[in-house]
Chains A and B, each alone.
Chain A
C-alpha cells in the first residue's frame, strides 16, 4: 500500500530503472555474509535538502537484516563518518568495520532495510530490500560491473520443464522483467548457483531466447527495450533494419540477418562478461576447495 510522505523523509532507492540505485546489497551464499555499496554522499545531499538543520554527526545509520523473528542490526556510523564497501577497479573493497555475518539468517531469504535516524526520527529509509544473491566474489564483481546478467532475474517455479525463460508479466505487460525460470522441484537453482558449467549452459541459451523474444510484441516493454539495446551494442546493424527483416515469426529463426544479429549479441555479451575465463577460474577454485575438504 502506498504511503503519503509529508515529513520530508528521504526514500532510499534500491531498485531503479536507470540502474543507479542509492544502495546495492549483495549476499554471498558461500560465506553467509553480504556486501553493501551505498552512495552516502548523494544521500547526505538529499537529506540536507529536506532537513537543513540536521547535524551530520547525529544522523545515525542502521542496516537491519531480518527474516521472520530473526533479526540483526548493523551500525554503519553516521552521515559524517559512514561505513560502506566500495568497488575499485572492478574489485570489491570491503570495509573491515562492517559486521557482515548474517549469523542465523539465511542468505537465500534475508531481507534488509536501511534507516537513517536523527533524534529518534527517521530522516531517510528504504523499503524492504531484497538483495541479490550470489555464490562467490567473482559473481559479485560481475553484478557491480552492471553486467547484462543483472537485467535478467532467476526464479524457481513448479513446472515440468527443466528451465524456461519469459517476461514476468504479472499484471503489467509494460513492466515484465526477463526471467530465467528454473524447476523448483528438481532444485535446479542450486545447480545453477553451484555449477558454473550448468549455469553457462542455461544462461547462454536463456539469453538467446530472451533477445529473440525482445524482437516481438509487446515491444513497449522497457526491459525488452534494454535487452534490444544491449543486443544492438554488439551489432553494427540499426534497430529499424533488424525490424524490417522480421515479417513473420519464422523469420526469428530462419532469416539470416536476424540469426546473425542474435548470435552476435549472445557472443558479445558472453565475451564481455568473460564468462568462459571466469568459468575456468571458478571451476579451478572449486576443485581446490574440494581437494582441501577431502584432505581435512
Chain B
C-alpha cells in the first residue's frame, strides 16, 4: 500500500514529460523515479493509502475507489489541485494507458492548469462524478478503466447533464441495466437513432421551457418527445 502523494508544479512538468515520452514510445523517465520522489511530490494529508497493483473491473469501480481514498480530504482544497490527479494517473498509468483502440490523447492522462480540461482526464472526471453522484454514475463508467465511452463524452460535455442527478437518473433508466455492484450494460449502440446523442438534443430543447432540474424522472419520461421517441428503451 502506498501513501497518496501529489506532484509539485515542478513534478507536474516532469510528469507531463513522462506522458509525452510514453506517447512517443520513449521510456527515458521511469515511473518509479517519480512516484515517491520527494523533490517532485508531497504527501496528501488525510488521503487513504492506495494499492497501485489493484485491477478494476471498470471505470466505475475505479471512480468509487478514488472517491473512497480521497473522501477525508477537503474537497475545495483538492478539487483544483492538478498535482493530486496527475499523481494518481501516474499511480495507475499502466491501467489507463493507452486507450483500448490505442488512444493516446495527452489530456486523458495529464491535467494541465486549464480548468476546462478536467472533463477529459481519466482520473479527475471519474473522481468528481463518482463523488457527486455515487451509484448513479455507474451508467457513465461501465467500460474499462482506459476506455473513454460515448456516454462519458456526451454527458460530460454538457453543463446541464453533468450537474443534474435527475438527468443522470433518466439516462440510467433508459439505457443502463445493472448487473451487480459495479457492473452493468449500456444497451444502446452508437448507430441507434434514439441513442444518447439524440436524447441529449431533446433534453436541451426541453430544458428551455420545462423545469427539468426539479421535475421527477417519471415526469421527464412523460414529456411528449421523450415518451414518443425514447420510452421503448424502458422495455429492453
Instruction: Evaluate contact between B76 and A106: CB separation under 8 angstroms.
Output: yes
Q: Which residue of the partner chain B has the closest CB to A118?
A: B211
Which residues of chain B have C-beta atoms less than 8 A from A66's C-beta?
Answer: 159, 163
Instruction: Evaluate contact between B211 and A117: CB separation under 8 angstroms.
Output: yes
Instruction: Evaluate contact between A68 and B214: CB separation under 8 angstroms.
Output: no
Complex Cα–Cα for A104 and B163 (A): 13
Q: Which residue of the partner chain A has the closest CB to B215?
A: A120
Instruction: Evaluate contact between B208 and A64: CB separation under 8 angstroms.
Output: no
Chain A 1-19: CB-based contact to B (< 8 A → 1; otherwise 0): 0010101010000000000
Dominant secondary structure at the B interface: helix
Give, as a whole number of angstroms, the nearest-CB distance from A59 to chain B.
11
The contact of B210 among A62, A111, A121, by CB within 8 Å, is A121
Q: List 29 A-B contacts (CB under 8 A).
A: A7-B209, A9-B208, A9-B209, A62-B214, A66-B163, A68-B162, A69-B129, A69-B133, A69-B162, A70-B163, A73-B214, A104-B76, A106-B76, A106-B80, A109-B115, A115-B213, A117-B211, A117-B214, A120-B210, A120-B214, A120-B215, A120-B219, A121-B209, A121-B210, A121-B211, A122-B208, A122-B209, A125-B208, A128-B159
Q: Which residue of the partner chain B has the closest CB to A64?
A: B213
The contact of A106 among B79, B128, B132, B208, by CB within 8 Å, is B79
Give, as a whole number of angstroms, the nearest-CB distance from B10 to chain A.
14
A222 within 8 A of B: no
A71 within 8 A of B: yes
Tally of chain A residues near chain B (CB < 8 A): 23
Q: Which residue of the partner chain A has the closest CB to B205?
A: A3
Give, as a whole number of angstroms, the nearest-CB distance from A17 to chain B.
24
Q: Which residue of the partner chain B has the closest CB to A103?
A: B76
> Assuming the A-B contacts A106-B79, A106-B80, A120-B215, are A70 and B209 also in contact, with contact meaning beta carbons closer than 8 angstroms in the complex?
no
Task: Name which of B76, B80, B164, B215 has the most chain A CB atoms within 10 A of its CB.
Answer: B76
Instruction: Evaluate contact between A122 and B211: CB separation under 8 angstroms.
Output: yes
Give, as a whole number of angstroms, the nearest-CB distance from A242 to chain B.
43
Complex Cα–Cα for A69 and B79 (A): 12
Give, as a whole number of angstroms, the nearest-CB distance from A77 to chain B.
15
Which residues of chain A have C-beta atoms less than 8 A from B118's C-beta?
Answer: 68
Which residues of chain A have C-beta atoms less than 8 A from B129's C-beta?
Answer: 69
Give, as a whole number of angstroms, the nearest-CB distance from B170 to chain A.
14
- In A112-128, the 8 Å CB interface with B consists of 115, 117, 120-122, 125, 128
Complex Cα–Cα for A111 and B116 (A): 14
